[in-house]
Amino acid sequence: MLRLACRLLLLATTVTIFTTCPATAGDTGVVQTPSIFAPASTPAFAIRELALIVLGITGVIFLVVAGLTVFALVRFRRRRGDDGREPPQVYGSRQIELAWTVVPILIVVVLFLVTARYIFAIEGRPQSPEALEVTIVGHQWWWEIRYPRLGIVTANELHVPVSDPEHPTPTFITLQSADVIHSFWIPQLAGKMDVIPNKTNRIWIDPQEPGGYVGQCAEYCGLQHAGMLLIVAVQSKEDFGKWVAQQQAPARNDAEVQAGRELFSSLSCINCHAVRGTKANGVFGPDLTHLMSRWTIGAGMIQNTPGNIRAWIDDPASLKPGALMPAMKLSRDDLDKVTAYLLALR
Ligand code: CUA
């Protein structure tokens, strides 16, 4: 009986922990604690449904096991007048052993079948012609975001149009990695999907409410794994159209930041960063063409303010220890010029 109780309790707690663990998001000012119980997209609705079914089954198991345990503790407690002898010791019972083997197997099979059904339903959805296509590449420790059909490259902030359930406009995301294994997870929009070097994975979302949704790398990928946040901005069709037009525009070429632009082009910045239409075409770091249109820098770590941009160029590790961008060691004057140039990249 005790072994049965232990096994069932273990099963119940394991399944419960795996299905309810909440995400931990940083202080990005959008959504503090994304919860799988507040879904906003079809795959996430399905996952909540599955989680509730599993919680229901494991909840019943918990009540039965805990109830029997409490009953045994109370009913067979030591009483005054006990003679102190052990109760009869029973060794081997085919019926009991069959019961505590077969019942858990049946429960696991049911959980497996229900889960498999949901996985196939989510992954089996074909890509529709009106779907938005995005490629997201995981890097240590930021997300590269490409819209191949729109000619847009950005970082860490995914903009998508809201999807009306009547006329869905889902977003299909191709996931790739530039270095190690990451995991793409926006708890309110879909399940986790591993981002694996030399392998392409796919995931889709169809957010039905405009707003900001926080995502987080969900596979340990090095020092700044926890500092690899992603914001999904779900916009009305008009707002999304405006954002696309703004991102497609060439980088601004303001005369008053000429000195900064020339300095930037002469430094090693351009080996890692791209500014469309200039000789900066590096791909190791985020594209800076419209840097100032983003809310955060350092993959959601800090707000995108002039002060933070300047501090980041001076020494990224002071804001994000382990960041792979080196400290540029510029003079105060040069630092001001490069900062002014980047601030003009709206
Ligand atoms: Cu990327 Cu953890």
pLDDT range class, residue 82, cuts 50, 70, 90: confident
- Ligand 1 atom at shortest distance from the alpha carbon of 141: 1
Close Cβ partners of 83 (under 8 Å, ≥ 6 residues apart): none
H or E segment and range at residue 222: none
CA distance 341 to 288: 11
- DSSP secondary structure, 173-215, as one string: EEEEESSS-EEE--TTT---EEE-TT--EEEEE---S-EEEEE
CA distance 291 to 297: 9
- Ligand 1 atom at shortest distance from the alpha carbon of 180: 1
pLDDT tens digit sequence for 170-199: 999 999 999 999 999 999 999 999 999 999
Structure tokens given for 27? 């202080």
Cα of 67 from ligand 1 centre, angstroms: 42
Q: What is the pLDDT of residue 144?
A: 96
Are 236 and 330 contacting, i.e. CB atoms less than 8 angstroms apart? no
Does position 22 have pLDDT exceeding 80, yes or no? no
pLDDT range class, residue 34, cuts 50, 70, 90: confident
Cα of 172 from ligand 1 centre, angstroms: 21
Residue with CA closest to ligand 1 atom 1 = 182
pLDDT tens digit sequence for 240-297: 999 999 999 988 888 888 889 999 999 989 999 999 988 888 999 999 999 999 999 9
- Ligand 1 atom at shortest distance from the alpha carbon of 140: 1
pLDDT range class, residue 32, cuts 50, 70, 90: low
Cα of 321 from ligand 1 centre, angstroms: 15
Q: What is the pLDDT of residue 254?
A: 84
Percent of the chain with pLDDT over 90: 73
Are 219 and 28 contacting, i.e. CB atoms less than 8 angstroms apart? no
CA distance 50 to 44: 10
CA distance 189 to 57: 25
Cα of 24 from ligand 1 centre, angstroms: 13
- Ligand 1 atom at shortest distance from the alpha carbon of 217: 2
- Ligand 1 atom at shortest distance from the alpha carbon of 222: 2
Cα of 229 from ligand 1 centre, angstroms: 9
3-state secondary structure at position 15? helix
pLDDT tens digit sequence for 93-148: 899 999 999 999 999 999 999 999 999 999 999 988 889 999 999 999 999 999 99
Residue 331, φ and ψ in degrees, nearest 5: -70, 160
Residues with CB under 6 A from ligand 1: 138, 141, 182, 217, 219-221, 225, 228
CA distance 120 to 129: 21
Q: What is the pTM of this model?
A: 0.83
pLDDT range class, residue 6, cuts 50, 70, 90: very low
Close Cβ partners of 59 (under 8 Å, ≥ 6 residues apart): 12
Q: What is the pLDDT of residue 21?
A: 36
Q: List the beta bridge partners of residue 91.
A: none
What are the residue ranges of helices labelled H in the chain?
A: 2-20, 42-75, 94-123, 237-248, 258-266, 269-272, 306-314, 316-319, 332-343
Burial of 323 from C-beta contacts in 10 A (0-12 / 13-18 / 19+): buried
pLDDT range class, residue 156, cuts 50, 70, 90: very high
- Ligand 1 atom at shortest distance from the alpha carbon of 138: 1
Cα of 231 from ligand 1 centre, angstroms: 15
* Residue 168 one-letter amino acid: P
Cα of 118 from ligand 1 centre, angstroms: 26
pLDDT tens digit sequence for 125-135: 998 888 999 99
